[in-house]
Amino acid sequence: MQFLPVPQEVCVGDGSSVQVTAKLRAAVAKALETRESAAPVRLKIEPAEIEDLPGLPPTCVGQAYVLDATAKTITITAGGAAGLFYGLQTLVQLVDQTQDGTSLPAVSIVDYPALQWRGLQYDLARRMVYRHEHMKDVIRHMAALKLNMLHLYLEGRFSFPSHPELHQPGWMTPAEARDLCAFAKAHHVVLVPEVNCLGHMEQILHVDPNKHLREDPADSYMICPSNPQSLPFVLALVDDLVDAFDTPYIHIGMDEVPKLGFCSACRARLQKDGHPGKMLAEHINAIAAHLRQRGRRSLMWGDMLLDSMQFPGAHAANGGVTGWGSLNYTAKALEWLDRDVVICDWQYAHFSPDEMDYLRALGFDLMPAIDSDERGCPWGPVRGIDFHIRNFFDAAKESGAIGAFTTTWSLHMGEVFNNRWLDFAKSAETMWSRHSYESEEFGQRFCSLFFGMDEALIPYLDTGIKIDVLPNSMRLVPYLLKLDQPWRIFGPPQWGSDPIKPLGSPAQLIAAKEQYLVQWRKTVKCASRRAHLLDAMDVPLRVDILAMRMFHLRASIAGIYSHAEKHAGEPLVQAWCRDALLTGIDGLMRDAECLRRRFACLYETFGNDGEDVVKSERFLVVLQGMREKLATAEKLPPKADWCPAELA
């Protein structure tokens, strides 16, 4: 018997066994659909029988359940509707891993979450458009992993009724929010929308009617907390979210604000009464008080509240990661900050063991957050992702955090939310269970239970995707297909500088990635459940292959011209050299066309960056132009005649 996440306690019973029949399967499916007993499955909600379970956090009674499977009946006793739902998810896993006619040993399972809130964050702000059906699909699979919070990172990409000037086609609407909330509720998932109320407000402050609220008139990043119109402005935004989302929490951002105190009004205020930390706390407290009046609690990011002089080992202190850091001592805001605000202490690469205890000791509730993707997070976890997931969430549990979540950022150029379910499942298990997973065993169990495949194929494919083509490829790849000088971005590859060792020459890397492409096709066929979640795992591989093809062509040009020079008087050799270059360009065009189609598909299905499609179209035009010049020349033309300057 296997489970995902692993329950707190599994006791094999009296030696009798449970026959798995088509009738039992139908009963389980019916119970899951109706949430009512369907013989031989009995469901009951009895908090009094549950609340004294040893180790059960008092806030998690409603999510706890006891599942007793005997030869005659299967009984799920739960502390609440969520517990019943989770008991049924466990039962589904039990019957799914057997075939009709086989039997399971009688078993008793005692289970509850270690953390009350276990979440995923979806970055819908960075170049994404909203896709309702995809989001429902995400919620379905979250529920199967017993995740119960979906944080929607919106920035300005919501059709705020109070601000029609911000509306654009493809932004999530209030009607969609209401429908999604109802859908999520049926899966015991809560939606937590985020609108940034201080920094990261470009999508809101870039339009003319809102420009006067900027902290720096030349920069749409941040709103001025001293402008008397700013608070009513952000309260209107959060009110729109309160109206549209049936949720206990609204996330108000507050991360990465290096310019606090930039404008003359803010500077005058600082000189008169105080401290940037106080200014920050006053802004947050005003929003939090308003939200409390409306029955909601505020969540905020924690980076501005940790001082890197106090926590040098914390990745995000003093307002964020490298490049965002500020020295304006906002950590002092903790002195004045409303204790009702929940702090999302986010540490993507490394964290200090004491920081969560420190914030807890000051009286704050916490929901710490990590980025669980080494590739998507260029500053990546230094000791590997499994080490980071386990340590971080274990620290969250030990600190008494009310929840935690894992984040995804900037999904474009081959980064796809659905390619991350392995990381999500690891996070889900660590947030739910007291048990600690072992990487290899987890991969096997995940593939078996989540995708219904016999072999642990996903971790293998995941590694193939993560073999990095370029150091920091996350930052370079978005520029890959820029019309102007697409080759310019590539410096010489610095092999060996990445934690996952690159393999050598561009040709070797292409070969490796192509093998993973073959593996991907096989893997999709092996999945008997949720195979559609694997549909886009080829895309990051194809992006890397295209990048390496560009390298390969550039590296080949010099050699081909040198060969042509040695055989200057031989027209046949000149023609062969020209044809070799044409062949290289044709290969690039095939790959680029394939990617164009894949990007179009991602845009339609998931709402991934539509610009990816446009960029790949423009790149094809560039290649076509190069090809024509080369093909119509009588013999091998000078480099400058056909290829862009940065390539020649």
Binding site for Zn ion (CB under 5 A): 215, 224, 226, 263, 265-266
Closest distance to Zn ion from the beta carbon of 301 (Å): 20
Q: Choose between 27 and 266: whose C-beta lies nearer to Zn ion.
A: 266
Does residue 314 contact residue 347 with C-beta atoms inside 8 Å? yes
Tokens 């072992």 correspond to 438
Handedness of CA 317, 320, 326, 328 (dihedral sign): negative
- Provide the minimum distance between the beta carbon of 198 and Zn ion in the complex, in angstroms, as a whole number: 11
Beta bridge partners of 299: 251, 342
CB of 279 to Zn ion, least distance (A): 9
**Which is closer to Zn ion, CB of 265 or CB of 531?**
265
> Could you give the 3-state DSSP secondary structure of residue 48?
helix
CB of 266 to Zn ion, least distance (A): 3
Name which of 110 and 235 has its Cβ closer to Zn ion. 235
Burial 578-593 (b: 16+ CB within 10 A, else e): bebbeebbebbbebbe
Nearer to Zn ion, 286 or 575 (CB): 286
Least distance from C-beta 283 to Zn ion, angstroms? 10
Give the nearer residue to Zn ion in terms of CB position, either 206 or 639: 206
Residue 515: CB minimum distance to Zn ion, A: 55
Q: Are strands 403-407 and 117-123 parallel, antiparallel or unpaired?
A: parallel
CB closer to Zn ion, 266 vs 469: 266
Residue with tokens 């955090």: 401
- Structure tokens belonging to residue 7: 């329950």
Going by C-alpha positions, the residue among 599, 527, 516, 587 that lies closest to residue 556 is 587
What gap in Å lies between CA 157 and CA 168, rounded to an integer? 8
Question: Shortest Cβ distance from residue 263 to Zn ion (Å)?
Answer: 3
DSSP one-letter code for 350? -
Instruction: Output the smallest distance, CB 215 to Zn ion, in A.
Output: 5
Instruction: Between 262 and 437, name the residue whose CB sits nearer to Zn ion.
Output: 262
Query: Per residue in 189-203, is it b (16+ CB within 10 Å) or e — as a string?
Result: bbbbbbbbbbbbbbb
Interhelix angle 421-432/457-466, rounded to 10 degrees, is 120
CA distance 632 to 283: 65
Residues 405/411/415/418 CA torsion (nearest 10 deg)? 50
Pick 231 or 509: Cβ nearer Zn ion: 231
Q: How far apart are the first and last CA of the chain?
A: 61
- Residue 173 exposed, middle or buried by CB count within 10 Å (0-12, 13-18, 19+): middle
Bridge-based pairing of strands 103-111 and 9-19 is: antiparallel
| Of residues 268 and 309, the one with the C-beta less far from Zn ion | 268
Measured from the CB atom, the residue of 112 and 262 that comes closer to Zn ion is 262
Nearest approach in angstroms of CB 261 to Zn ion is 7
Q: How far is the CB of 223 from Zn ion (least distance, A)?
A: 8
